[in-house]
Amino acid sequence: MSMTPILETRNLHRRFRVSQGHFKPKATLQAVNGVDLSVQRGETLGIVGESGCGKSTLAQMLLGLLPATSGEVRLDGRPIADLRRVDFARRVQPIFQDPFSSLNPRKTLLDIVTMPLRVHAIGSRAEQEARARTLMDRVGLPAGFADRYPKELSGGQRQRVAIARALVMQPDVVICDEPTSALDASVQSQILNLLMELKADFGLTYVFISHNLSVVEHIADHVAVMYLGRVVEKAPVDAIFDAPQHPYTRALLDSVLTVAPDAGVPELALGPGFPNPLRPAPGCPFHPRCPRAFEPCSTIPPTPVPAEGRGAACHLTEMTPRGAAA
Amino acid sequence: MGALLTVDDLRVDIATPRGTLRAVRGLTFSVNAGETLCIVGESGCGKSMTSLALMDLLPRVAKRSAATLNFADTDLSDRRKARRIRGNQMAMIFQEPMTALNPAFPIGDQLTEAYLHHKGGSRAAARARAVEMLDLVGIGSPAERLGQYPHQLSGGLRQRVMIAMALMTDPKLLIADEPTTALDVTIQAQILRLLRDLQQKLGIAVIFITHDLGLVSRIADRVMVMYAGAMVEEGTAAQIFGAPRHPYTQALIECIPQPGRTARGTPLGTIPGVVPSLVGQIEGCVFRSRCPLARRECESHVPTRGAEGHRWVCVDDAPAPALEGTTR
Amino acid sequence: MTDTTPTASIPTPGASMKSPSRLSLRRIAEQPSLLVGGGIVVLMILIAIFAPLLAPHDPFVQNIAARTVPPVWYDGGSWEHILGTDQLGRDYLSRLIYGARISLFIGFAAVAIAGVIGTTLGLLGGYFGGRVDMVVTFLTTVRLSLPIILVALAIVAIFGGSVTIVVIVLGLLKWDRFAVVVRATAAQISRLDYINSAKAAGASTFYILTREVLPNLAPQLIVIATIEIASAILMEAALSFLGLGVQPPTPSWGLMISEAKNYMFFSFWLIAIPGTALALLVFAINLAGDGLRDLISPDGRG
Contact state of B186 with A211 under an 8 Å Cβ cutoff: no
Give residue C34's identity as a one-letter amino acid code: L
Burial category of B101 from C-beta neighbours within 10 Å (exposed 0-12, middle 13-18, buried 19 and up)? buried
Q: Residue A51 pLDDT > 90, yes or no?
A: no
Residues of C in contact with B282 (CB under 8 A): 10
Task: For residue B220, give the nearest of B39, B91, B69, B53 by alpha carbon.
Answer: B39
pLDDT digits (tens, 9 = 90+) for C102-114: 888 988 999 999 9
The pLDDT value given to residue A282: 86
What size, in residues, is chain B? 328
Q: Residue C12 pLDDT > 50, yes or no?
A: no
Interface of A with C in 263-302 (CB under 8 A): none
Collect all residues with Cβ–Cβ distance below 8 Å to A188 and sequence separation of at least 6.
Answer: A180, A215, B255, B256
- Find the mean pLDDT for residues B215-225: 94
* Confidence band of A319 (pLDDT split at 50, 70, 90): low
Mutate to test the interface with B, among A152, A189, A206 (most CBs of B within 10 A): A189
Buried b vs exposed e over A109-128: b needs ≥16 C-beta within 10 Å? bbbbbbbbbbbbebeeeeeb
Contact state of B277 with C7 under an 8 Å Cβ cutoff: no
pLDDT greater at residue B84 or residue A115 = A115
Give residue C132's identity as a one-letter amino acid code: V
Give residue B158's identity as a one-letter amino acid code: R
Please state which of the four CATH numbers 1.10.760.10, 3.40.50.2300, 2.60.40.60, 1.10.3720.10 is assigned to the domain occupying C31-300: 1.10.3720.10
The pLDDT value given to residue B324: 39
The pLDDT value given to residue C301: 41
ipTM: 0.86
Q: How far apart are CA A216 and CA A238, in angstroms?
A: 11
The pLDDT value given to residue C10: 43
* Confidence band of C135 (pLDDT split at 50, 70, 90): very high
Q: What are phi and psi of B126, to 5 degrees?
A: -65, -40
B16 touches chain C (CB under 8 A): no
The pLDDT value given to residue A273: 62
Nearest neighbour of A252 by CB, restricted to B186, B190, B264:
B186
The pLDDT value given to residue A110: 95
The pLDDT value given to residue A28: 87
Range with the poorest average pLDDT among A242-251, B308-317, C208-217: B308-317
Q: How far apart are CA C276 and CA C175, in angstroms?
A: 27
Range with the poorest average pLDDT among B232-241, C163-172, C183-192: C163-172
Contacting subunits of B (3+ beta carbon pairs below 8 A): A, C
Contact state of B270 with A193 under an 8 Å Cβ cutoff: yes
Contact B3/B24 with Cβ under 8 angstroms?
no
Q: B306 has which bridge partners?
A: B311
* Confidence band of C11 (pLDDT split at 50, 70, 90): very low
pLDDT greater at residue B35 or residue C258 = B35
Q: Residue A82 pLDDT > 60, yes or no?
A: yes
Q: Residue B97 pLDDT > 80, yes or no?
A: no
Range with the poorest average pLDDT among B19-33, C66-80, C155-169: C66-80
Contact state of B187 with A265 under an 8 Å Cβ cutoff: no
Q: Residue A197 pLDDT > 50, yes or no?
A: yes
C300 touches chain A (CB under 8 A): no
B22 touches chain C (CB under 8 A): no
Q: Residue C196 pLDDT > 90, yes or no?
A: yes
Cα angle value C206/C193/C289 (rounded, 5°): 65
Mutate to test the interface with C, among A80, A83, A101, A174 (most CBs of C within 10 A): A101
Residue C171 to residues C52, C115, C151, C244, Cα–Cα distance (Å): 28, 8, 13, 16
Q: How far apart are CA B120 and CA A182, in angstroms?
A: 43
Interface of A with C in 19-48 (CB under 8 A): none
- Find the mean pLDDT for residues B100-122: 87
User: Number of residue pairs across B and C with CB atoms under 8 Å?
Assistant: 45
B25 SS3 class:
strand
First-to-final CA distance of chain C: 27
The pLDDT value given to residue C133: 93
Contact state of A89 with C200 under an 8 Å Cβ cutoff: yes
Q: How far apart are CA B46 and CA C225, in angstroms?
A: 43
Burial category of A97 from C-beta neighbours within 10 Å (exposed 0-12, middle 13-18, buried 19 and up)? buried
A210 SS3 class:
strand
The pLDDT value given to residue A306: 80
The pLDDT value given to residue A2: 55
The pLDDT value given to residue B328: 32
- Find the mean pLDDT for residues C204-217: 92
Nearest neighbour of C3 by CB, restricted to B273, B294, B299:
B273
Percent of chain A with pLDDT over 90: 61
B294 touches chain C (CB under 8 A): yes
B143 SS3 class:
helix
Residues of C in contact with A98 (CB under 8 A): 193
- Find the mean pLDDT for residues A125-140: 94
Mutate to test the interface with C, among A83, A103, A115 (most CBs of C within 10 A): A115
Contact state of A215 with B257 under an 8 Å Cβ cutoff: yes
First-to-final CA distance of chain B: 34
A156 touches chain C (CB under 8 A): yes
- Find the mean pLDDT for residues B262-275: 87
Cα angle value B93/B95/B100 (rounded, 5°): 65
Contact state of C301 with A149 under an 8 Å Cβ cutoff: yes
The pLDDT value given to residue C23: 52
The pTM for the full model equals: 0.85
Contact state of B218 with A272 under an 8 Å Cβ cutoff: no
* Confidence band of C6 (pLDDT split at 50, 70, 90): very low
Mean pLDDT of chain B: 87
Q: Where are the domains of chain B?
A: 3-89+171-313, 97-170
Mutate to test the interface with B, among C1, C7, C10 (most CBs of B within 10 A): C10
pLDDT digits (tens, 9 = 90+) for B14-25: 988 888 999 999
CA-based nearest distance B280→chain C, Å: 10
Q: Residue C13 pLDDT > 60, yes or no?
A: no
* Confidence band of B47 (pLDDT split at 50, 70, 90): very high
**Tally of CB atoms within 10 A around A81:** 12
A65 touches chain C (CB under 8 A): yes
Q: Where are the domains of chain C?
A: 31-300
User: Which chain A residue has the Cα nearest residue B269?
Assistant: A189
Residues of C in contact with B270 (CB under 8 A): 1
User: Which chain C residue has the Cα nearest residue B284?
Assistant: C10
CA-based nearest distance A120→chain B, Å: 34
Quick one: DSSP state of residue B93? E
CATH topology classification for B3-89+171-313: Rossmann fold (3.40.50)
Q: How far apart are CA B130 and CA B107, in angstroms?
A: 10
Q: How far apart are CA C38 and CA C45, in angstroms?
A: 10
Per DSSP, the residues of C214-281 read HHHHHHHHHHHHHHHHHHHHHHHHHHHHTTSSSPTTS--HHHHHHHHGGGTTT-THHHHHHHHHHHHH
Mean pLDDT of chain C: 81
Q: What are phi and psi of C18, to 5 degrees?
A: -90, 165
C24 touches chain A (CB under 8 A): no
